Amino acid sequence: MLEVASFREEMFSVLIIAAVIGAALNCVPYFFYDLTEVKQRGIVKVLKIRALFEDYGNGVLRDSALVEAIDIIDEAKRLQADRHLVTTADDVKAARRLPASTETEKQFRAEEIARVKAARRRYLQQRRQSAVSRRKQAAALPRSERKAALKAARAENHKSRKYDDDVSVCDFVINEMEKFSSPRVMAQVERAERTVSLGIEGLRNTNPGERKAAKALPKRTAEERSIRSDALAYSRAKKSCRKLLLKYYPDKVTAPADRELEEAEALPADTLPQRLRRHRAIRRFVSEKSRYTRAVKVLLDAERLLTEMENYRHLEEIRLLYDEAKARHSEESRLKQQEIEKLEAARKEEILRRNRERLSK
């Protein structure tokens, strides 16, 4: 077929067009990618804080994790005290997310955006002037002192830029610590409490008007849209759970016990038939566990959220453990550093010994 010129040309045209379309589609995500380095730092710190409270609830607190998370929280609170002195790009984005349904709201939004942008420009101009002033002062010094002064000026300018990023990161931490007092998470907690109180039977008996009520929620502001989106997602997840419950557990829901997995793993595996029997038993348990988790996912998520809220209330109790944990962590780090230095000294001594042996031959 490739010998036919018309077919060959049509096939090449199709391949080229498909390649161009594929390349264009590959570029689409880059236009919507907004995970900056500052956001990545904020997300990492938030995950460390969540891990701290989860470990506290499970009774497996580690000194290093406790010290690091409490230091993150304290640093964010210190930066928050001076937050009004800094205008970041996130402040401009927050102003753009203000509601603009009515003429009054549109006017207020435009004035707020203009005000925040002006404050941002003034702040950046002040920072640039300070940086230029430091460099000029360093350059005016005698040659013997100039190099060290320029290096110190560059370090101070870098510290000033890093301070802006730290302020933006502290917003992530503060929002995380105060999330259970925000309207969005309060609505999630209310749904979770209702879900837990009704139990599995509440998942079976889904209210058909729940989705209509979710769609009827206001969506003027960004927060209202988030609350409405959460309510719709909850309604869809509940409907999915109801279908799975009616399909796999029409009479009674029985959660698979971990004992069944232990028994399956304890089966003999000496011969091929025994290994196959053991593999099927483990796979059967995993499949049943996955089916149960999907069927009661809404209930499990609700219990997890309420447990997380309860753990967050014990911040002061965790803080009381900070001093002792920091002392133990410092001692552990000191001993580890000593061990590293001892191993490094032994390694150098071994290298010297080998060199002496090689030279003596």
Q: What is the mean pLDDT of residues 240-268?
A: 88
Question: What is the spatial distance between Cα 271 and Cα 286, in angstroms, rounded to a whole number?
Answer: 23
Q: What percent of the chain has pLDDT over 70?
A: 98
Torsion over CA: 233, 236, 237, 238 (sign): positive
In terms of Cα–Cα distance, which of 269, 318, 285 is closest to 50? 318
Confidence (pTM): 0.79
* Average predicted confidence (pLDDT) for the chain: 88
SS3 136: helix
Note the pLDDT tens digit of each residue in 67-77.
Answer: 999 999 999 99
Q: Is the pLDDT of residue 207 over 60?
A: yes
How much is the pLDDT for 338?
93
**Where do the domains of the chain lie?**
1-33, 40-177, 181-253+296-318
Exposed/middle/buried for residue 223 (C-beta within 10 Å: 0-12, 13-18, 19+): middle
Q: How confident is the model at residue 100 (pLDDT cuts 50, 70, 90)?
A: confident
How much is the pLDDT for 39?
86
Helix 258-265 × helix 272-295 angle, to 10°? 170
How much is the pLDDT for 301?
95
